[in-house]
């Protein structure tokens, strides 16, 4: 079973249909760092990162990792940490995972450009939360209630297909 993202605003899983949003410049096979596009293709999912200070207990078959204040995801094409989780360093560009906004209270990394990483091909592509379906910088976002349902249904073998 796989998650299907289709029509830039719909995410399907089995008989479930959720509203979602994608990158500001749509879905593309030619993803580049900072282009605001969501990468087209089929990808594995990473573990669930979450803010335990903001969430009730939730059920999932995915590995769960608590987000700490010093966690970041590197989007610096000049860094050896490019497109990896790392402890934040001031001189390295990154996405901060611990945020004031609730968008990253739950995130699932989409395994795009994560093995045999190519610099400038795109980084930090997540399935994360939204309150208003505002277009993203390349991620896919859904409402918190929908994410909690999805987390109960998926497992480590689940893939996401973005078309």
| pLDDT > 70: percent of the chain | 100
144 backbone dihedrals φ, ψ, rounded to 5°? -55, -45
Query: Rounded mean pLDDT of 49-62?
Result: 95
pLDDT at residue 79, rounded to an integer: 96
Number of Cα atoms under 13 Å in the Cβ half of residue 15: 0
Whether the predicted pLDDT of 7 surpasses 90: no
| % of the chain residues with pLDDT over 90 | 96
Tell me the mean pLDDT in the region 6-16: 94
Supply the pTM of this predicted model: 0.96
pLDDT band of residue 93 (cuts 50, 70, 90) is very high
At 148, is the pLDDT very low, low, confident or very high (cuts 50, 70, 90)?
very high
Q: Where are the beta strands (DSSP E) in the chain?
A: 2-6, 10-13, 16-19, 27-28, 38-39, 41-44, 48-50, 64-66, 71-74, 85-87, 94-96, 106-109, 126-129, 140-142, 159-162
Beta pairing partners, 41:
162
As a whole number, mean pLDDT of residues 130-143 equals: 98
pLDDT band of 102, cuts 50, 70, 90 = very high
Query: β-pairing, 94-96 with 64-66?
Result: unpaired
128-150: average pLDDT: 98
Reply yes or no on domain 2-162 having CATH 2.40.440.10: yes
Residue spans of the domains in the chain: they are 2-162
Whether the predicted pLDDT of 1 surpasses 90: no
pLDDT band per the 50, 70, 90 thresholds, residue 62: very high
């Amino acid at each position: 079973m796989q998650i299907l993202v289709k029509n830039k605003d719909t995410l399907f899983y089995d008989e479930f249909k959720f509203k979602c949003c994608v990158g500001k410049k749509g879905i593309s096979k030619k993803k580049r760092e900072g282009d605001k596009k969501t990468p087209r293709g089929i990808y594995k999912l990473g573990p669930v990162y979450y803010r335990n200070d903001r969430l009730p207990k939730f059920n999932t078959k995915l590995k769960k990792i608590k987000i700490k204040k010093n966690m970041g995801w590197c989007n610096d094409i000049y860094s050896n940490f490019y497109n990896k989780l790392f402890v934040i360093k001031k001189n390295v560009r990154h996405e901060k995972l611990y945020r004031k906004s609730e968008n990253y209270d739950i995130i699932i990394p989409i395994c795009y450009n994560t093995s045999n990483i190519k610099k400038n091909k795109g980084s930090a592509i997540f399935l994360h939360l939204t309150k208003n379906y505002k277009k993203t910088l390349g991620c896919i976002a859904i409402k918190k209630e929908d994410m909690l349902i999805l987390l109960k249904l998926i497992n480590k073998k689940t893939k996401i297909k973005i078309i």
